[in-house]
């Protein structure tokens, strides 16, 4: 926390801010909230539901990863045979 606040802040508001930040930093851009949703969540509308939904997805994702760990070499394999023009797309 900012030292200038001198411990004068609401813990629940800090927790909500952190939850919104975590939702905004998901690895898949499709899973991240739109800016309009972020504003609504910061105003206190819909964060609890979105956070609960995210937690359920994360539990399932971690269970799947425990069963079958992700391969890190798929990225290299997926672009291995492509030429630079194919990777960058049309200009």
For 33-87, how does the pLDDT look when each residue is reduced to its tens digit (9 = 90+)?
Answer: 999 999 999 998 999 999 999 888 887 777 777 776 655 555 555 555 555 554 4
Q: What is the pLDDT of residue 87?
A: 46
Q: What angle do CA 24, 52, 42 make, to 5 degrees?
A: 45
DSSP string for 13-45: HHHHHHHHHHHHT-SSGGGSPPHHHHHHHHTTS
For 13-22, how does the pLDDT look when each residue is reduced to its tens digit (9 = 90+)?
Answer: 999 999 999 9
pTM: 0.62
Whether 49 and 70 have beta carbons less than 8 Å apart is answered as: no
Whether 50 and 23 have beta carbons less than 8 Å apart is answered as: yes
């Amino acid at each position: 926390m900012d030292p200038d606040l001198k411990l004068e802040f609401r813990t629940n508001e800090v927790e909500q801010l952190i939850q919104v930040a975590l939702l905004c930093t998901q690895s898949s851009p499709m899973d991240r909230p739109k800016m309009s949703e972020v504003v609504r969540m910061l105003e206190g509308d819909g964060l609890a539901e979105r956070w609960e939904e995210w937690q359920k997805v994360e539990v399932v994702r971690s269970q799947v990863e425990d069963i079958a760990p992700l391969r890190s070499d798929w990225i290299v394999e997926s672009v291995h045979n492509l030429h630079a023009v194919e990777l960058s797309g049309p200009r």
